[in-house]
Amino acid sequence: MILLQFIRCFLFDLCYFAWTIFCCLFLLPTFLLPQKLFNKTVKLYFGGIYVLERLILNLNYEIRGLENLPRTGSYMIVSKHQSTYETLKYFLLFPELMIAMKKELMNVPIWGWYPRKMGCISIDRGSASKALKSLYKGVDRLKKEGKNLLIFPQGTRVPVGATVEEYPYKSGMANIYKNCDIQIVPIAINAGYYWPKNSFLKKSGTVVFEILPTIEPGRDPKALMIETENLLEAHSNKLIREAETKA
């Protein structure tokens, strides 16, 4: 069983990196397209990875709580970040999405050109004030363009089982909420169970994205942070237990 899992993961990684290199080079002419059409074209890359996951790893996903998505206005998705998996899915799951990502990633040759063209928000992490300034500008732009923002409030991938003391929630989420008057959509996940952080081996199964009720503007920022942290931790831990039970 372990040998089969190893072979599957090796084959997937081989195809995943080959597909990534191919798309980075093959899609270069699409930089001449308008951003909206460019973004739709780049979804071919994420869709191809999903096909590889299904065929090789037998790894699928399920979305719960779609009824909780706001019907009007821009919103900020605040998600747990456990794995590479969810970063490869959010562009497929949500239309008109911007991701806040560190500036260093956008400076990677060729690969980094794509998130820039897609309109992702470049975060200068040299200081907290610079990072917030970058986010505020990005949120103003996305609201004008009718897009939505994705942030990972803990700022990095968090291994399953890690505590909030080890990986605390950062105040950037509350500052954006307070200063930019934007709705928050919390999303709990269990991707880290199937595609663990820094692990070669991946499991078959169904990753769950659980969309929790929207938090409207106007709440106290400190209370908002506590509520969001409690929601994401409780629901994500519940989804992890559910995955373990199914396994």
pLDDT tens, residue by residue, 212-230: 999 998 889 889 999 999 9
Q: Who contacts 90 (Cβ-Cβ below 8 Å, separation ≥6)? A: 77, 79, 97, 99, 150
CA angle, corner 188, sides to 185 and 130, nearest 5? 60
Q: What is the mean predicted confidence (pLDDT) over 34-63?
A: 94
What is the pLDDT, as a whole number, of residue 126? 62
Q: Is the pLDDT of residue 40 over 70?
A: yes
Of 241, 246, 229, residue with least CA distance to 190: 241
User: Comparing C-alpha atoms, which of 185, 171, 182 is closest to residue 217?
Assistant: 182
**Amino acid identity at 25:** L
Question: Which CATH number belongs to the domain containing residue 198 in this structure?
Answer: 3.40.1130.10
In terms of average pLDDT, the best of 87-91, 182-186, 187-191 is: 187-191
d(CA 117, CA 38): 8
Question: pLDDT value at position 17?
Answer: 96
Asked if residue 206 belongs to a domain, the reply is: yes
Taking 80 as the threshold, does the pLDDT of residue 39 lie above it? yes
Whether 21 is in a domain gets the answer no
211 lies in a domain?
A: yes
pLDDT at 86 over 90: yes
Fill in the amino acid letter for 219: R
In contact, 194 and 202? CB cutoff 8 Å: yes
> 35-39, 56-60, 174-178, 237-241: which has the minimum mean pLDDT?
174-178
Residue 53 within any structural domain of the chain: no
**pLDDT tens track for 121-180:** 777 766 667 667 777 777 777 777 778 889 899 988 999 999 999 999 988 888 888 877
Residue 55 counted as domain residue: no
In this structure, is residue 25 part of a structural domain? no
pLDDT at 133: 74
Maximum average pLDDT range among 54-63, 66-75, 97-106: 54-63
Residue 47 included in any domain: no
> Who contacts 76 (Cβ-Cβ below 8 Å, separation ≥6)?
139, 148, 149, 150, 151, 173, 176, 177, 182, 183, 184, 185
- The domain of 191 spans 60-246
Whether the pLDDT of residue 119 is over 90: the answer is: no
Domain total of the chain: 1
Residue 81 lies in a domain: yes
Task: Choose between 244 and 123: higher pLDDT.
Answer: 244
Mean pLDDT of the chain: 89
